[in-house]
Amino acid sequence: MSLPKQARINAGYSLEGAAKKLNISGGYLSQIENGLRQISADRAREIAELYNKQTDEIFLPSRYSIREVNECTA
């Protein structure tokens, strides 16, 4: 069982219940849990907070993307 799925179950959420709290579909959350979707660092934090976990407890850094923004001088 994946860490995000186990964290969700341990937090007492059904797939649909957690998805509703996160304002995403159950199918999308299922894809995240099964490693079929990469997610933003912000979304990973939202999920971890809902489950009362630290992001790195349930997601490997390679599971979510962090975008770096470079400042441009004009």
> For 31-53, what is each residue's pLDDT tens digit?
999 988 989 889 999 999 999 99
Note whether residue 57 is domain-resident. Answer: yes
Note whether residue 8 is domain-resident. Answer: yes
At 63, the pLDDT band (50, 70, 90 cuts) reads: low
pTM, to two decimals = 0.80
Note whether residue 68 is domain-resident. Answer: no
| 35 Rama class: left (phi>0) / alpha (psi -120 to 50) / beta | left
Note whether residue 27 is domain-resident. Answer: yes
Q: What is the DSSP string of 13-69?
A: --HHHHHHHHTS-HHHHHHHHTT---EEHHHHHHHHHHTT--HHHH--GGGEE----
List the domain range (segments joined by +) for residue 25. Answer: 3-61
